[in-house]
Structure 1
Amino acid sequence: MSVEIKFIGEQEPFSYTDGEGTVYRYRVEDSGALSIFEKEGKGYVPVDAGPIAVYGPAAWFSVSGDKFSKADRRPGRAFSV
């Protein structure tokens, strides 16, 4: 699934989607920043992978799509959501 972000001051939303089956997840950080993650095919987000993009809290006001969850990490690996 894609992640769609509505940025402050923009009319049209921006969408993370590539049409080739890549799956994206988002996470709202404690600071209010928005982090975007890319899954490996339909598998998992690698444990050592950082976000592919981070937007400050003053840049965006709405996000939709699939939220990053524990299910997005490979079982048996320690991480924080």
Structure 2
Amino acid sequence: MSIEIKFTGPVDPYRYEDGEGREYRYEVNENGTLSIFEKEVGGHIAAKDQPIAVYGPAAWFSVTGDARSTKDKKPSQVRGFVG
């Protein structure tokens, strides 16, 4: 699912469109900022990955689409485990 952001003021909504091997996820941070992440289809978003965009808390009021979740994290590798 793509992400659509509705901004405050007279600005049209903006969409990050999934496709061409990319997917987008959003995260609402504790300080009210909105972070947008990009990943390859079937890929992962590492904890250290930087967002491709960050919107201040006063810039936006609504977002729809796929939120960043634990499903987007790389599976843990257990040292010494042979599967």
Identity within the alignment, %: 57
8 Å CA contact 1:21, 1:41 repeated in 2: yes
Higher mean alpha-carbon deviation, 30-39 vs 41-50, is at 41-50
Higher mean alpha-carbon deviation, 41-50 vs 65-74, is at 41-50
Is 1:41 matched up with 2:41? yes
TM-aligned CA deviation for residue 19 of structure 1: 3.7
TM-aligned CA deviation for residue 18 of structure 1: 5.4
TM-aligned CA deviation for residue 20 of structure 1: 1.7
CA distance in 1 between counterparts of 2:65 and 2:71 reads 15
CA distance in 2 between counterparts of 1:30 and 1:11 reads 24
Is 1:29 matched up with 2:29? yes
CA distance in 1 between counterparts of 2:19 and 2:76 reads 31
RMSD over aligned CA atoms reads 1.7
CA distance in 1 between counterparts of 2:19 and 2:4 reads 14
> 1:1-80 residue pairs with structure 2 within 5 A?
1-17=1-17, 19-76=19-76
The aligned length equals 77
Amino acid at match of 2:67: K
* Higher Cα Rg, which structure: 2
TM-score after normalising by structure 2:
0.82
Structure 2 unaligned spans of 5+:
78-83
Structure 1 unaligned spans of 5+:
none
Residue 22 of structure 2: SS of its match in structure 1? Answer: coil
